[in-house]
Chains A and B, each alone.
Chain A
Amino acid sequence: MMAGANRANALRTRFLFWLVLLLSPYSSASGFDLNDQCPPSFALSSDNQCQLRNLYQLYDSLQGQGLGGLKTALPHHRDGFSPQQIDLGRLLFFDPVLSGNKDLSCANCHNPAKGFSDGMARSVGASGQLHPRSAPTLWNSAFLKSLLWDARADNLEQQALGPLFSELEMANTPEQLMANLNQVDAYPELFTQAFPNSEDAMVIANITTALTAFQSSLISLNSPYDRYAHGDSKALNPEQLEGLNVFRSFVARCSQCHTPPLFTNQQVAVIGTPEPEGMPRDIGAQATFGAERLRGGFKVPTLRNIALTAPYMHSGRFATLREATEFYTKGRGHAVPEGEELLLHWHISEPNLTPSELDRLVDFMGALSDESFMPEIPQQVPSGLLH
């Protein structure tokens, strides 16, 4: 009896030993394992890369630029990250350990429940500082060729450095960030899993790569509009359909800059929205390009999931989508203060849209919402700091 039990115990111990040994690269004492499968919408290649698949890949676009009408390909996108990198990025994204005071994660201002924005006119930094700009959505950022309102980052990696080390945002320093991460037991191993070829895996460059990997997995391309575009003429209700026709008409001209299928042409436009009371004019892209003609210019934002990310415009001046839409019909330059010289975009015109046309535009923009590929929000993060 005893001998049998001992043998069984010994076998169990040996089995557990082998199991641990077998799984050791993929499990950790801290209980965090990185997913070895790609998120939805991605195919796992034989060399462990996640590659994006979506129905717009059935189509072409003029000059390969990803701009056009209904059945038009999307712009070039980022992909090719490993499942582990995407998953590490997800954990980092939700981990307040990334901020200087360990109080603020990326998700504070890019909250999945709020369209990866924060529901505020202007975001609030780690120690309560009011940021001059509004947090943009992260949905579909894989397709963007420049980032940030003033288009000053050329890629997501470069972009990530901005908030991490900005005093107005996460207020960290490279040294402090590495010190913070080193205090978390799980991270060194998780970085090794995600970057097996890096000698020193836990470095800033891999942090931004992982954040990029996660952000470029946030795909939203299955809205009612998309079903209409692919061929279901009933996917939009009559109000939304009417809104689509106002949207693409040359009276409202929305689609000239918010061009399908991404609903942005990724250009800088000077449209002259008002700043919040008392805030000086944000010069925007003038600073990026050193060009006076771009004073007050900002990157045209995507309208996908726009209904989820009120308030609107670069400094959140408009509380609702209806107000933001109405801005465009109140007259060219109506909100530009006296003495302010802005070279307004040529499509800022006097469309004289009717109240019902404005309503229909809002209806249509509501048909651009899709959160079916919402990532799993971690219950806890490696630092244990999630509350």
Chain B
Amino acid sequence: MNNKIKIVLVIIIFAGGWILGSNNNTAPVITSSMGGASYSGGYQPEAQAAVQAEGAVALRTEQGQIHLVKDGDSIQAAVEAAQPGDTIQVMPGIYSETVYIDKDDIHLLGVIQEGKRATMDGLGKLNDAILYSGNNVVIENFRITKYKGNGIMGQAGNNFEIRNNVIVDTGIYGIFPQLGTNGLVEHNVVSGIEDAAIYIGMSDNIHVAYNEVFDSVAGIEIENSRHAIVEHNNAHNNTGGILAFVTPGLPIKTTEDVIIRNNFVLNNNTPNFGAPGSIVSGIPAGTGILVMAADDVIIEGNIISGNKTAGIIVNDHSFATTITMDVESDPNSDRTMILDNVMLNNGYDTIAEVKAVALTELHTGLVDIVHVGSSEGSCIVNRHRYRAVGIGNYGDCDFTNTDSIDNYLVAGGADRRVIHPSERGEIAYLGVCTGCHSYTGRLIGPSVQVIQAMYAGNPEALVEYINAPVKKRDNFPPMPAQNYLDAETQMAVATYMLALEK
């Protein structure tokens, strides 16, 4: 480099510094997140205003039976023997089976003895470790490994707690509650998962806390779900750390009201090993937090560090070329709210798409935050702290914290539909019995009038009969038992049938 050029450079640098300096003469406005206004939006419980829930499953007022499962026994056999209200305790040992809980109020607890856990081992052959569809299910203290599908999967069970499980190298999802309301996922250690370590799918009122998720494609995923809080988790060494998004083409269309706060989101740079075609297969390695088409997402108090693509990526569906089209699905991320976060060394080896967006703002180097696509009503606190691109239209948030919100769980559990006995009787009679019985005349079974003549004033006897029918008439087929109806419904339908007038 010759002297002339050096001189020119010095002049340019001096001039540049002078210009920048003159622009930055006023001190930046620093908004303290201590004190100040708390978030006033979000889930507003209706009936139990001001009551914040302790957990997702109400404490039992009376303890049912305890079923002890020992090494060599079958856990499923114990589930089948258990009644709602019972607890199953599984002693340390190796259990290679799929456990499914199709009843309510079962607590399935591993017993940890001197660090030894009840281990469910899928041997690389079995599909899922634990499936549940009942409400008020608790699953604790297991070690789960080598299943091909999911570690723990919920289908429409409400009020669930999944706690203190170690899930290693297990298929598609480690923990996957789906289509449920009111659930707590906490203190689990999940690693080596081909899709998401913890995946909340199409659910409402969820709390994910104090989990360690690592070496997976996605750490924690909140997908097509509402009113979820993700806090105090450690998401490290995944492809992407924490995700809140809408997958188009699913029947529940929105993700709204998600608080991601006080998590560690560190070094999520693992090369993407998701299955081809899966939604997460499009996540660039080095993603700290990803918001895609989700609305009302608050990102607060996280330590986001060492994620090579970006600390926070906010985008819309148009940037995801591998996902389907859904006219019912709003593609934009609206009202993203970024409060104070500690962001260090993110975006140090970012992808071409982020570089391209950055260049439009003449930004080079590290990237803490990148927002691509349109967005309405987004805001940020202390924007001067971050190496950010695409947030020009973010306003200043009018709150600095979410301190007023402990969780979004439903105090006392998700409401159950209340059906009056008379309605229950009509539903069961018309929904089931009318296939074989009409009021007058024979269908497949005798007429209601004939039945009324036999059981007048005695619904108890009719209940007894429908529970265990015996063949009474030679020229009629035998009646199938209706013992799957609960006692309340059986009595309701017997009473209803005996009172029918046409």
Contact = CB atoms under 8 A, between A and B. Distances in A.
B12 interface: no
Contacts of A349: 275, 277-278
A248 B155 CA distance: 9
A260 B133 CA distance: 11
Given A62-B156, A65-B252, A294 B324 contact: yes
Interface stretch (B145-153, B229-237, B300-308, B456-464): B145-153
A221 interface: yes
Nearest to A294: B325
Contact of B98 (A231, A245, A289, A344): A245
B357 interface: no
Interface stretch (A17-25, A38-46, A155-163, A192-200): A38-46
B54 interface: no
B485 A250 contact: no
Q: Which of A250, A252, A293, A345 has the most CB of B within 10 A?
A: A250
Given A40-B430, A55-B432, A63 B252 contact: yes
Contact of A266 (B127, B133, B251, B427): B251
Given A72-B179, A231-B484, A53 B431 contact: yes
A268 interface: yes
A346 B199 CA distance: 16
A182 interface: no
Contacts of B251: 65, 67, 259, 265-267
Nearest to B443: A40
A227 B484 contact: yes
Given A58-B419, A60-B417, A41 B156 contact: no
B156 to A, nearest CB: 3
Q: Which of A43, A65, A68 has the most CB of B within 10 A?
A: A68
Given A246-B127, A250-B153, A293 B324 contact: yes
Interface residues of B, number: 66
Nearest to A297: B324
Nearest to B151: A250
Q: Which of B155, B275, B327 has the most CB of A within 10 A?
A: B155
A348 B277 CA distance: 8
A235 interface: yes
Contact of A54 (B176, B419, B431): B431
Contacts of A343: 322, 324
B424 interface: yes
Q: Which of B157, B322, B324, B417 has the most CB of A within 10 A?
A: B324
Given A41-B431, A57-B427, A348-B277, A231 B322 contact: no
Closest 5 CB pairs of A and B: A68-B156, A232-B484, A372-B435, A69-B156, A40-B434
Given A57-B419, A69-B155, A232-B481, 14 more contacts: A41-B431, A60-B415, A65-B252, A68-B133, A70-B155, A232-B483, A232-B484, A245-B127, A250-B128, A250-B150, A251-B127, A265-B251, A289-B325, A349-B278
30 contacts: A53-B426, A53-B429, A57-B427, A58-B417, A58-B419, A60-B414, A60-B417, A61-B179, A62-B179, A65-B252, A68-B155, A69-B156, A69-B157, A70-B156, A71-B133, A72-B179, A222-B431, A228-B102, A230-B485, A231-B485, A232-B483, A248-B155, A250-B153, A251-B128, A255-B155, A265-B251, A267-B326, A344-B277, A345-B249, A372-B436
